[in-house]
């Protein structure tokens, strides 16, 4: 299967001195949903922000390695060029314009990102994907629930007609019932569009519900990868991410913290 995205030996450094990624290797196959799992501080957001050209906003730089997209070297490419290439990130925070209504959020993206297209038609397409948003079209985004904001953020990203959609923390802080609805909507979108998706998740259950392949990041490096059907039964994953061994998870988090502190002191 063709890879739409290849990340090779990627290193990212914040503020010229804080190394967050230590040689990340991962791939996203065309038309597939791939998950990137890892504990707090493992480097998941940094990886997504490096791929999508956001790290310039964070005072960070790619200091080694490559990002290839459809075979082209796009290492260090910044916004908005990444969006024009079809790489669109749904960020963890600040996803929507809170003072604009749902319809205005979609409109503002469609007028800046989808030149020459009819925004009402685009809006209708997004409402087919997220019928709940159609009922909320005149409501300010600041008054939406967390789950509704996530749907609007994904809808706004889809307005950009991505080839590769990156989603940072799909389920963080959301109620299980709304997470289920978002999973169902994403499955539907994926079935209709065969969009390639790279999903960052702390919940392995959510990642496995959507993705066919997964990578596990620890301290800025991929430590484990595989088909999700295999990762599902991997002992380490079971202990650390599916809650079958809380002592294991606590040890793991303590070790991860210790290794980060050791690295910071070098
Ligand atoms: N703006 C920044 N300046 C300096 N260091 C940063 C910055 N953002 C992240 N880091 C550091 O980079 C490392 C990776 O952080 P990152 O946010 O990518 O991890 P994460 O896996 O997404 O964590 P979380 O699940 O908590 O969002 C951490 O050690 C973090 O402290």
Give pLDDT tens digits for 81-133: 999 999 999 998 888 999 999 999 998 887 665 555 677 788 888 999 999 99
Q: Is 99 helix (H, G, I), strand (E, B) or coil?
A: coil
Whether cis (ω within 30° of 0) applies to the bond prior to 122 is: no
Instruction: Name the E strands within 131-238.
Output: 164-168, 196-201, 213-218, 221-227
Cβ contact 152:95 at 8 Å? yes
Tell me the whole-structure pTM to 2 decimals: 0.88
What is the Å distance from ligand 1's center to 54 Cα?
A: 13
Residue 173 covered by a domain: yes
Residue 266 covered by a domain: no
State whether the beta carbon of 14 lies less than 6 angstroms from ligand 1.
yes
User: What pLDDT score was predicted for residue 221?
Assistant: 96
Q: pLDDT tens digits, residue range 46-76?
A: 999 999 999 888 889 999 999 999 999 999 9
Q: Which domain holds residue 133?
A: 3-259
* Residue with CA at minimum distance from ligand 1 atom 17: 45
Rounded to 10°, the helix 102-113/146-159 angle is 20
The complex scores an ipTM of: 0.96
Residue 264 covered by a domain: no
Joined tokens for residue 98: 């809170």
Give the mean pLDDT of 27-33: 97
With cut-offs at 50, 70 and 90, classify the pLDDT of residue 219: very high
More confident call, 236 vs 247: 236
State whether the beta carbon of 20 lies less than 6 angstroms from ligand 1.
yes
Residue 229 covered by a domain: yes
Domain count, the chain: 1
With cut-offs at 50, 70 and 90, classify the pLDDT of residue 43: very high
What is the DSSP code (8-state) at residue 258?
H
Give the mean pLDDT of 135-163: 95
What is the Å distance from ligand 1's center to 14 Cα?
A: 9
User: What pLDDT score was predicted for residue 137?
Assistant: 95
Q: Rg of the chain's alpha carbons, rounded to an integer?
A: 18
* Residue with CA at minimum distance from ligand 1 atom 30: 41
CATH number at residue 19: 3.40.50.300
Residue 265 covered by a domain: no
Residue 66 covered by a domain: yes
Q: Is 165 helix (H, G, I), strand (E, B) or coil?
A: strand
User: What pLDDT score was predicted for residue 261?
Assistant: 57
């Amino acid at each position: 299967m063709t890879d739409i995205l290849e990340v090779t030996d990627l290193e990212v450094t914040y503020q010229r001195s804080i190394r967050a990624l230590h040689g990340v290797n991962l791939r996203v196959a065309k038309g597939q949903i791939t998950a990137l799992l890892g504990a707090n501080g493992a480097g998941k957001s940094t990886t997504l922000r490096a791929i999508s050209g956001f790290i310039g906003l964070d005072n960070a730089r790619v200091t080694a390695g490559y990002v290839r997209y459809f075979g082209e070297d796009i290492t260090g490419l910044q916004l908005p060029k990444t969006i024009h290439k079809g790489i669109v990130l749904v960020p963890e925070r600040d996803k929507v314009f809170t003072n604009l209504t749902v319809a205005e959020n979609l409109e503002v993206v469609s007028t800046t990102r989808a030149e020459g297209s009819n925004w009402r038609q685009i809006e209708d397409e997004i409402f087919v994907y997220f019928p709940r948003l159609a009922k909320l079209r005149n409501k300010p985004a600041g008054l939406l629930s967390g789950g509704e904001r996530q749907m609007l953020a994904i809808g706004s990203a889809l307005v950009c007609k991505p080839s590769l959609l990156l989603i940072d923390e799909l389920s963080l802080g959301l109620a299980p019932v709304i997470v289920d609805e978002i999973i169902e909507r994403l499955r539907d979108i994926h079935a209709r569009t065969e969009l390639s998706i790279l999903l960052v998740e702390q919940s392995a259950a959510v990642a496995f519900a959507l993705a066919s392949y997964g990578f596990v990041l620890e301290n800025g490096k991929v430590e484990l990868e595989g088909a999700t059907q295999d990762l599902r039964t991997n002992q380490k994953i079971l202990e650390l991410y599916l809650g079958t061994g809380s002592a294991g998870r606590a040890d793991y988090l303590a070790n991860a913290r210790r290794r980060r502190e050791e690295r910071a002191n070098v």
